[in-house]
Amino acid sequence: MMSDTLASGFLAEGAKVKAFAAEIARFIGNPLVVPVNSCTTALTIAFKLAGVGPDTEVISTPLTCVAGNEPIRMLGGRPVWADVDRFTGMVTAETIEPLITSKTRAIYILHKEGAPAEVESIYALAKAHGLRVVEDAAHAFGAKRRDDRIGAIGDFVCFSFQAIKHITTGDGGALLCSNEEDYQRAKKAKWFGIDRDAREGRDVWREDITDWGFKGNMNDVAGTLGLAQIKHIDWILERFHRNGRRYDTLLQDTPGVQTLRRDPLDYQTYWGYTVLVENRDAVLAALAAAGITSSQIHVRNDHYTMFGADRRNLPNTDWFDARELSIPCGWWVGQDDQDRIIDVLKKAAR
């Protein structure tokens, strides 16, 4: 309980974070969990471990949170924009492949709003070219690609426990690795280049630090929140999923509204429910007038000055970006709410 944690006087990274990491490991099916203070930190560590630095490139998408691309710039690298699939809003092996150069170190993919990306073909491509894959699973805690939870396999898988994610620690995240070497390096990278787990009986500050790291660890206050939340993960996911599936059914064949292509063999976490509409801004205004908060979750990143003049011609990204709109889908949305949202959406979009 939080009062126990506060009364213990130990608020730094300790037993609560360890226990939360063990729960994540059990739930996802991967013991190599590095708890951190945000998904942005997880992504930054992942890019660093993948070899991203000055004069390197990462193939990425502009249709994501800046948290996916800003770490590449912070490390001195450059995102190279791949186009997306019109029906999923995600990059594919086909759009990535022509962009691979000798400078490429990694491929960034987003499991958009908790819809698993087509990982098999992307990993096959990465393997053929000696590249690492960084998976942004900020919206995909609990999602499954076929039978595997996102994070069970995959080079670097980054989760967010920020305030409005499926489970939250206020701010927080986790990096899941696929091998012991990356895991050990990631553990150091999250705390000044030092392995906190190795401190028992040692003065680690007097030992050598061979590579720099971040002050990016999770603390026990966040760990306590995480432990309390993860107990309810099945219930939370079930509610998001049920709402998402209901939208899938009720919005099918709606004039003016295109739903996204979803693989029926996957489990989607429906962090938001994205549709494509021709008159997006008018639909947004109609929903707002009815008291319904909707948005384009992420503003495309490639127009920001910080990414320089590296814009490319991305016809599908342009198309998707002009139409995408996300409506509420979380556990707090009841069936009556959904019916009202659908009603306003249908009238505004036709």
User: Footprint of ligand PLP on this chain (CB under 6 A)?
Assistant: 38-40, 64-65, 67-68, 110, 136, 138-139, 160, 162, 173
Q: Give me the least distance between CB of 177 and ligand PLP, in Å please.
A: 18
CA angle 235, 156, 145 (to 5 degrees): 45
Nearer to ligand PLP, 64 or 224 (CB): 64
The neighbour count for residue 268, using CB atoms within 10 Å, is 27
Q: Give me the least distance between CB of 139 and ligand PLP, in Å please.
A: 6
Alpha-carbon separation of residue 70 from 76, 120, 144, 243 (angstroms): 10, 26, 27, 32
Nearer to ligand PLP, 324 or 349 (CB): 324
Identity of residue 129:
H
Name the E strands within 213-272.
257-259
Q: Give me the least distance between CB of 33 and ligand PLP, in Å please.
A: 15
Tokens encoding 96: 């990535």
Contacts of 210 (CB under 8 A, 6+ apart): 193
CA distance 205 to 202: 9
Q: Give me the least distance between CB of 339 and ligand PLP, in Å please.
A: 27
Nearer to ligand PLP, 158 or 237 (CB): 158
The neighbour count for residue 35, using CB atoms within 10 Å, is 28
Tokens encoding 40: 């942005």
Nearer to ligand PLP, 39 or 84 (CB): 39
Nearer to ligand PLP, 32 or 115 (CB): 115
Instruction: Report the Cα 56 to chain-centroid distance in Å.
Output: 22
Nearer to ligand PLP, 162 or 258 (CB): 162
55-88: b or e for each residue (b if 16 or more CB lie within 10 Å)?
A: ebbbbbbbbbbbbbbbbbbebebbbbbbbbbbeb
Q: Give me the least distance between CB of 205 and ligand PLP, in Å please.
A: 28
When computed from its CA atoms, the radius of gyration of the chain, rounded to whole angstroms, is 21
Nearer to ligand PLP, 52 or 67 (CB): 67
CA distance 159 to 140: 7
Q: Give me the least distance between CB of 67 and ligand PLP, in Å please.
A: 3
Q: Give me the least distance between CB of 155 and ligand PLP, in Å please.
A: 17
Q: Give me the least distance between CB of 136 and ligand PLP, in Å please.
A: 5
Nearer to ligand PLP, 65 or 115 (CB): 65
Q: What residues pair up with 79 in beta bridges, in sequence order?
A: 58
